[in-house]
Amino acid sequence: MRFLKSLKFAFCGFAHAINYERNMRIHTVFALYVLVFAHFFNLSRASWAVLLLLIAMVLFTEMINTCFEELCDMLSKEYNHHIRIIKDVAAGSVLVFAVFAVIIGFILFWRVNILMHIIHVFLYNPMYLAILILSLIISAIYVHLGPIGIIKVFKNKK
């Protein structure tokens, strides 16, 4: 029973990060697109493991950054030089990991023939292109408003 309770708390923490942290939503959107497009590349098991580990680590560092921000905001509402450093360093850790994830992504995915094939698939299949454009619009709304903001929009329409 304790395990289920701790699992519930963990999911609540993840949901909080998604609901209240725009950067977390940006990372989840990029992760989703990377996972979808990775199927074009016929990656090895080791490459999939690296890719999944990178995604997990970027999400992890963003959530740890959120923890530091929340803790610092709880400790002091007014400006504090030390708290500013803590928040900046935590945010910098996310940036470092995200930049290296992008570099490793280029190493895994920079295959011109496959990239050209992907472009060809979308240019010559209007349905796929429409789905891609629609998914980009939905992703932008998700990143901008977040789940709570989207729910508020729909509640206000009624």
User: In which region does residue 78 sit, left (phi positive, over 0), alpha (psi from -120 to 50) or beta (all else)?
Assistant: beta
DSSP 8-state symbol, 21:
-
DSSP 8-state symbol, 109:
H
Provide the token pair at 72. Answer: 């610092």
Please report, as a single letter, which amino acid is at residue 98. Answer: A
- Asked if 141 and 150 touch (Cβ cutoff 8 Å), the reply is yes
Q: Is 69 a known active-site residue?
A: no
User: What's the rounded Cα separation, in Å, for the pair 52 and 95?
Assistant: 18
Select which of 62, 69, 70, 78 is catalytic.
Answer: 62
Show which residues are catalytic.
62
